[in-house]
Chains A and B, each alone.
Chain A
């Protein structure tokens, strides 16, 4: 077959955070396996952690928190809709993973006695571990990739997964983003680690790439999984974050909170009890922003000089280091003024909320041989450490699967159809530029899908997305770079349709702002205490259905259940 690029045992797609861990763990499981890490960018600087990270948002460290407490916290923060087994599997492995990263050379904050210096940000428990020197994450991972002899393939993008006659994984079809050529990689098992759907909504700046997420993550994995027949879950539980206005990055309350910074209204008053990001918190943020007390700010100007210096060092050297440059341009000094905050565009991301590809506690999707980890795998509020832990699970599971399966045969018809689809924009002359199609699509996402969610608007949105679907064939690409962007537009359109259909399906409101439906403003546990799943059915149509919630393994009492519904600060006089 002329398109064949490689034959491997395990193919990991996406080399950001979860991907490198998955590849290393698959190799550790069995060093004889051929493991390939495929990355759209370059693994040295790719993904959400390309410039490092300023802390672990969900560290479960003995003496500070137990796995049971963590499972409770996330169950409540995610309004009850969790498969607790998956969250528990993460929580139990969290501490081992931190210790391993520590041995690998990741620098976490420690106290005088050498213990991890964990801080309280969440509503109930204590889970935030700062990493003021966390800018070298990618170097640490790269060293491990080399050590484990993982085969790295940079600047290739997966466009569709390849299935065998029984619907099991047979590999992936890919685009060489520098050459603009099409190829096939045969594999016994595949791990999706392509991150969030970060280019779904349009940032209010109008700049297509000024997103919260690293914009290489266009929702590729969501679409790859969907077209392979995998079940997705909680797509209606959008990711919406409180960000620095215009800059559109985190400020971030997790860093500043433990030092005494907090989210305030225009009067400088605190209005939420807890700055941990949840849909319930975002609802209060939204109300304050839209109400008479807006805009909303991050307040630090009351802090001591030394404290502000420390905060500046963390925020301006790590994670999103251009924050300092932005403030400088606006002449904002944390000592003298508050940081104006805003609401991000919508996205899909289980790292922050709960929208993702359905996985069990071994990172297995519903497609045999397909595993998923990181932001695109549905394990609520999983963040960076969750990406590492599920990367580990996925690497181990995919290695085991590869060891007990033969390389499946390749279906020439799938390859032919995909080659035609991928290369089409190169032969369209003077067609629509991908950037223009993307701009229009994402503006419609804002217009019709952004909460508050209105039924009629979402229905109109579906019509518009169908029209854009028809436009895709008219896109032309002048070079390989534009071809990559054109293929991303396909992914974004798929994600937009998924977001609309999943949101229409769940006829109640849940997760605060993430799924606030104007016509169904109340939570309806009688009908909707369940997962809402989405998949491509036999006829090729997008369908939604319910999946019951597995019995909890950690029970909650009534007080705990309600904790995230009481986030607004109650003034003494009103309370009395």
Chain B
């Protein structure tokens, strides 16, 4: 069946300067109850891979370098 990709704005922003995934950190990836975050293998930085957020904040609270900012998803904001 034919498919297309839709662009969506996602609620999680990662400050790549602050993120230390390149040093092996995966804290936010492990915290997220919905398993939405991942480490970009090229940039070695965390990013939001899926737009399925409960705006619950464990990722932001647990990040050791305060690199994450969670906004309320646009549809609810």
Which of A206, A207, A216, A433 has the most chain B CB within a 10 Å cutoff? Answer: A207
Please state if B33 and A326 are interface contacts (CB–CB under 8 Å). Answer: no
Interface residues of A in 191-205 (CB under 8 A from B): 205
Please state if B75 and A215 are interface contacts (CB–CB under 8 Å). Answer: no
For B77, the closest partner residue in chain A by CB is A329
Classify chain B: how many residues form its interface, as a range: 20 to 34
Shortest beta-carbon distance from A142 to chain B in Å: 12
| Given known contacts A325-B71, A326-B76, A209 and B1 CB-to-CB distance under 8 angstroms | no
Task: Say whether chain A's binding surface is mostly helix, strand, loop, or mixed.
Answer: loop
- The reply to whether the CB of A50 lies closer than 8 angstroms to some CB of chain B is yes
Q: Per a CB cutoff under 8 Å, which of B1, B34, B75 touches A206?
A: B75
Interface residues of B in 28-63 (CB under 8 A from A): 30-35, 49-50, 52-58, 61-62
- The reply to whether the CB of B72 lies closer than 8 angstroms to some CB of chain A is yes
Which of B35, B71, B75 has the most chain A CB within a 10 Å cutoff? Answer: B35
| Given known contacts A42-B31, A46-B33, A47-B33, A207 and B58 CB-to-CB distance under 8 angstroms | no
Chain B residues, CB < 8 A from A41: 32-35
Chain B residues, CB < 8 A from A365: none
- The reply to whether the CB of A252 lies closer than 8 angstroms to some CB of chain B is no
Please state if A177 and B35 are interface contacts (CB–CB under 8 Å). Answer: yes
Please state if A215 and B35 are interface contacts (CB–CB under 8 Å). Answer: no
Classify chain A: how many residues form its interface, as a range: 35 or more
- The reply to whether the CB of A521 lies closer than 8 angstroms to some CB of chain B is no
Please state if A50 and B1 are interface contacts (CB–CB under 8 Å). Answer: no
Please state if A51 and B72 are interface contacts (CB–CB under 8 Å). Answer: no
Shortest beta-carbon distance from B55 to chain A in Å: 4
Which of A205, A210, A322, A484 has the most chain B CB within a 10 Å cutoff? Answer: A322
- The reply to whether the CB of A149 lies closer than 8 angstroms to some CB of chain B is no
Residues on B lying within 8 angstroms of A by beta carbon are: 1-3, 30-35, 49-50, 52-58, 61-62, 70-73, 75-77
Residues on A lying within 8 angstroms of B by beta carbon are: 41-42, 44-47, 50-51, 154-155, 177-178, 205-211, 214-216, 246-248, 320-322, 325-326, 329, 430-433, 481, 484-485
Give 5 nearest A-B pairs by CB, closest first: A41-B33, A45-B58, A207-B75, A322-B55, A209-B52
Given contacts A45-B32, A325-B55, A430-B2, 6 further A-B contacts (CB under 8 A): A41-B32, A44-B30, A44-B31, A45-B58, A210-B55, A433-B3
